[in-house]
A = this chain, B = another copy of it.
Amino acid sequence: MRRIRNIVKELDEKEKGCTFSLQRLSRFIQPSLLLFLSKGQCHGYDLIEKLGVLGFHKEAIDIGAVYRTLRKLEKEGYVKSFWSSQKGRKRRVYRITSRGRTLLKFWIERVKERKEALNKFIIIYQEDKL
């Protein structure tokens, strides 16, 4: 039904014996959805495809989480949705609101900070290596 977590399972093989969940994504679905919606309206399935652009293998994405996050974003007023049924399958199309754009602006700051932190992490790791 859902071919999911194939690649992650391979990692599991390699990481056998490690009790920490390394592949757990963190705080990424919500800001990513806002980001893509800031570029234009989209429906959920489309957004799942687009998450791959950021480097996540489609197979590893929790589809349920995407839809759930979209519903929550709407409940909070960051996006708005409507049903579209032209050509076949009806789909719920999302649009970002101005509130959503403001939230994304805050996220960008966090993303930049986090990127800097990860960069420092890598630099420290590589120090004094032969």
Residues of B within 8 A of A114 (CB): 118
Do B108 and A39 have beta carbons less than 8 Å apart? no
Task: Tell me which residues from 9 to 29 in chain A have a Cβ below 8 Å from any Cβ of chain B.
Answer: 14-15, 17-20, 22-24, 26-28
Cα-based distance from A85 to B46 in the complex (angstroms): 59
Q: Which of B102, B115, B121 is A35 in contact with, Cβ under 8 Å?
A: B121
B124 pairs with A53, CB closer than 8 A: yes
B35 touches A110 (CB 8 A): no
- Chain A interface size band reads 35 or more
- With both beta carbons as reference points, the residue of chain B lying nearest to A18 in the complex is identified as B103
Question: Are the CB atoms of A20 and B76 closer together than 8 Å?
Answer: yes
User: Are B110 and A32 in contact (CB-based, < 8 A)?
Assistant: no
Contact of A108 with B125 at beta-carbon distance under 8 Å, contacts A27-B24, A55-B113, A115-B115 already known? yes
Closest 6 CB pairs of A and B: A26-B26, A115-B118, A26-B27, A55-B117, A54-B117, A19-B76
18 A-B contacts (beta carbon < 8 Å): A17-B99, A18-B102, A20-B76, A22-B106, A22-B110, A24-B27, A26-B27, A28-B117, A35-B124, A54-B117, A55-B117, A55-B120, A104-B125, A108-B122, A115-B115, A115-B118, A115-B119, A115-B122
